[in-house]
Amino acid sequence: MSPLRPAVLAQISGWLIAFALSRIAYPPLAAHPYEFALAQGFCAALISYKLEAPPWWVPIHIASPPLLVAAVGLHWPPGVWLSAFALLMLVFWRTDSSRVPLYLSNRSTALELARLIPPHPCQVIDLGCGNGGLLRMIAKMRPDCRFVGIEHAPLPWLIAWVGSRRQTNLEVRYGDFWREPLGSYGLVYAFLSPAPMLRLWAKARLEMAPDALLISNSFAVPDQIPEQTTDVADRRRTRLLCYRPGRTK
Ligand SMILES: C[S@@+](CC[C@H](N)C(=O)[O-])C[C@H]1O[C@@H](n2cnc3c(N)ncnc32)[C@H](O)[C@@H]1O
């Protein structure tokens, strides 16, 4: 289920409770927008907690209504908010359903990943390639291999696609990586989140060749022991978890 549903339900219920409070129990609340908004936020947070939503929703619920009141008080033209919303939408797209936001692999990770590519020419795919920065770096290091990136968020895809035009061994496509058959790839790279890892494992097991590598940046496949784990010497202590799903058929 999309995490947006309980969030919207909590805020609507929070508003209804705050409204009822201002009508029945404490009428002065209606005249104070910040206090009303805080009451709504706290009620929403409580409902979110009862609905067993992840705990980080609590501060979001408490802070959102007062911030909304403050934003309205700025009297900015509606176009500013609409543009900000459109920009966020173009960058993060359907993060609510994919549960995979945009964050990028760094240069140290790209160098380490390049070392893990098999020595012979092969195809490499980045599932959800973001702005394509990682692929551009490793495609330069391995001109004998072919690199493919698939991205569904419009703005990162556009940046990746424009950036790939001059690299002949790199192809960036717009689309959903769940629809991409993985059988022809010698290395599949994924930097996603914990949410899709079991689904990815099921797909990789079915489709990947026995020798092909699945490398997950940071997120382990539940109940699977990686064949190898590579620690990257960066500040966020990136770990590359290497699996061979095709061997577990
Ligand atoms: C954490 S970012 C990683 C970006 C890039 N691979 C890197 O390592 O720098 C994950 C990306 O996957 C994209 N994504 C998530 N689900 C997707 C899907 N089903 N199809 C295509 N792209 C997807 C997101 O939009 C996001 O840009």
Per residue in 209-239, pLDDT tens?
Answer: 999 999 999 999 999 999 999 999 999 999 9
- Note the pLDDT tens digit of each residue in 103-153: 999 999 999 999 999 999 999 999 999 999 999 999 999 999 999 999 999
Number of domains in the chain: 2
Q: For residue 95, tell me if it sits in a domain.
A: no
- The residue from 75, 92, 125 where one domain ends is 75
Residues 61 and 179 in one domain: no
For residues 43 and 136, is the Cβ–Cβ distance under 8 A? no
The beta-carbon contacts of 98-102 under 8 Å, at least 24 apart in sequence, are: 98/152, 98/196, 99/3, 99/193, 99/195, 99/196, 100/128, 100/192, 100/193, 100/195, 100/196, 101/193, 102/130, 102/153, 102/156
Flag whether 13 is in a domain.
yes
Q: Is residue 58 part of a domain?
A: yes
In this prediction, residue 97 carries a pLDDT of 86
pLDDT digits (tens, 9 = 90+) for 20-64: 999 999 899 989 999 999 999 999 999 999 999 989 999 999 999
Q: Does residue 100 sit within a domain? A: no
Same domain, 221 and 179: yes
Task: Say yes or no: 172 and 118 in one domain.
Answer: yes
Report if residue 220 sits inside a domain: yes
Domain check: are 113 and 194 in the same one? yes
What's this model's pTM, rounded to 2 decimal places?
0.90
Inside any domain, residue 87? no
Residue nearest to atom 27 of ligand 1 (CA): 130
Pick the closest to residue 186 from 125, 142, 134, 227 (CA basis): 125
Pair (122, 63) in one structural domain:
no
Residues 162, 244 share a domain: yes
> What is the whole-number distance in angstroms between the Cα of residue 91 and the centre of ligand 1?
11
Residues at CB less than 6 angstroms from ligand 1: 93, 98, 100, 102-105, 126, 128-130, 133-134, 150-153, 156, 176-178, 191-192
- The enclosing domain of 163 has a CATH number of 3.40.50.150
**Boundaries of domain holding 58:** 4-75
78-100, pLDDT tens digit by residue?
999 999 999 999 999 988 889 99
In this structure, the residue with its CA closest to atom 13 of ligand 1 is: 128
